[in-house]
Structure 1
Amino acid sequence: MSQTHETDTCEVLVVRNLNVAFRQQDAPEVQAVRQLSFSLRRGETLAIVGESGSGKSVTALALMRLLDAASSEVNSEGLWLRRRNRQVIALNEQTDAEMRRVRGADLAMIFQEPMTSLNPVLPSASRLPNPCACTGGWGAKSAARGEKDARSGAYSRAEEMLSRYPHQLSGGMRQRVMIAMALSCRPAVLIADEPTTALDVTIRAQILQLIAVLQKEMAMGVIFITHDMGVVADIADRVLVMYRGEAVETGSVEEIFRSPQHPYTQSLLAAVPRLGRCVAGSAAPFSAAGPAAGGERNARYGSRRRADPAGA
């Protein structure tokens, strides 16, 4: 049974001590995310940054309840989502049927690779009604309004692009279709998993601007997953830095960029490309088979933190 209660804040998502582990045959389990805590407010953009394998995408899939239960184990002290109708539910207590009603209507995701997320034998437009069709919280009028917003607001020449098949679209066009799908039901929270990967600079700027405009119109919270610190500086309000499945630092964009406290955050910022400069990385190589224990991590980077994410 879902848990329903009201909170005194405008937080739309609260995560408390999230842990994700993957079971392996004839091998120790892999702890992909450990003791992760954060919150997201309405209209806020939280950037989750870190190198590949740090647990960013796994965190997103755990929130969406899309991890394979047969090979993974997810537990937490609480995953609370404030729906558009102001009801607060515990995501970790929802049944599969209840989660199908939540996805799209209240919690949506732009996946990392649009080509693998779109059906290659169907026109792009055929995907738009699907999120609204499987949710029951808004009704026909709101669903129609969401689809209209997705078609007209997502990009110019919308009808022409939506009539095409995925292989007929460029990377930027496919990403716009994914954005239209994710926002067609006007969700309370949007998770964008590296939506600008493999896009050129011009298209990347257009995608970022599009997400920002639609976020403002819909007053939704956005979790933006990326390893590009330049993008973070452009679009985020707060930053959460992950390393080997743990949150090592969190703070506002200004705090993180002007005075990073954790050595790993300092390494990420030092690695941002600059003309005429080459920087060698100092981070320990990530090993999925053996995540760094606290002592090992502190030996490499020290133990400084701006704030304990558990208190976020």
Structure 2
Amino acid sequence: MTTPTDPLEPPDRPRPGRKLGPITDNASSTHRAWLVPMRDTYLASGLTLNALSDRIRFAKSKLSELLRGVGLYPRWEVVFLIAAELGMPNWPLYRLWRQAAFEAQRSGEWVERCTDHTTLTAADTAPPMNHRAFRELTESDYLLYAQVFLDDEERDTAVSDTYDILWLSWNDALTSTDTRRYAWTALRDTVMARTPHRDGRPELGPAAFDTLALRSLTDPADDMDQVPELVQLFTVISHLTGRQFDVMVLRRLCGFTPEAVSALVGASLATVRSDERHATRFVRDVLDTPPSTEGTAP
């Protein structure tokens, strides 16, 4: 008769280490654009900080700081080594890292010096074929959405960053419940991070001069009459949250059909129509409410 024993742990199984802390609140949106996918890839890899530190020969404490966005902005050589160890495509990572470096007040000389001893892999300069196909299908619509909030240069940068972020996490996008919804979330987060906010809400007022509603008017006098009403409408819309906000922007400002909105954001047509009904009711209720006269003279 044999005595049962506890199963032995496989010798190559990494032992759990200290849990990686959250990203610091001081990290900018452009810094987070590449740091979040890198952290996600690291956490999914099953590696500990000790193991990753040993592989890239970089101090564990400094590695922890880098993955939390703490301290000085990291040099590309180290980011490159981590990406290579984690199997991340380095071309989109480099573009996002470089952009964030400039926003962190790093000079062009510093950026160039950081890349002297690294080589971007040629195979990484082109995204997967299905990623390219997805971009061809969605880019023009993404640009229309971003245009509502940003000027031309910021709009183009936000959309380009979105596709780089998606490239870095493309496997996650493909295995998610809905790739379109996953991608839309990435776009929305990227655009909103660059959008001016007031009282915690995105500003839509500047878009009053570049919407389908205003461009459809032919009489310049009518244009001026409509501006205050449009600005008021946009202010009310900015109070909406989540998908209702997006649906109203896409439907009322970008001119999309319900079917097109459904395909773009990855929500069912019934859900889009329901969101629009609730959002429209909210907007009408607010606009139909007379302004408060409290505190005014009789």
TM-score, structure 2 as length reference: 0.27
Higher relative contact order (CA 8 A, sep 6+): 1
Answer 1 or 2: which has greater strand percent: 1
